[in-house]
């Protein structure tokens, strides 16, 4: 019996979430890995590894304001520190 598009989507996301976790088990602590659901850009993050880098978590939007992104803040601070 064929599965519905909704069930197929759920199954695909479940498999990809598991893949993200597996990648996270071998990724360096300074590498953030995200899985986004682009049907819901306002809360697109459905899986994340090393979210401490950017401050994002499951449910975060695909694009956060720069002042909310810890990775962006760190880049801006590093740039400011190198001046002068």
Q: What is the CA radius of gyration of the chain?
A: 16
Provide the residue ranges of all domains of the chain, joining segments of one domain with +: 5-82
The dihedral formed by the CA atoms of 77, 42, 14 and 7, expressed in degrees to the nearest 10: -170
> What residue ranges of the chain have pLDDT lower than 50?
none
Q: Is the pTM of this model over 0.85?
A: no
Strand extents, DSSP E, the chain: 33-36, 45-49
Q: Is 41 left (phi over 0), alpha (psi -120 to 50) or beta?
A: alpha
Tell which residue, 38, 32, 29, 33, has the closest CA to residue 63: 38
Residue-wise pLDDT for 59-68, tens only, equals 998 876 556 6
């Amino acid at each position: 019996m064929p599965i519905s598009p909704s069930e197929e989507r759920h199954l695909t996301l479940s498999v990809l979430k598991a893949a993200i976790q597996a990648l996270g088990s071998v990724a360096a602590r300074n590498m953030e890995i995200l899985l986004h659901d682009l049907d819901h850009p306002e809360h697109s993050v459905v899986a994340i590894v090393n979210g401490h880098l950017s401050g994002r978590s499951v449910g975060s939007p695909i694009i956060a304001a720069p002042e909310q992104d810890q990775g962006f803040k760190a880049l801006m601070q590093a740039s400011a520190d190198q001046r002068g």
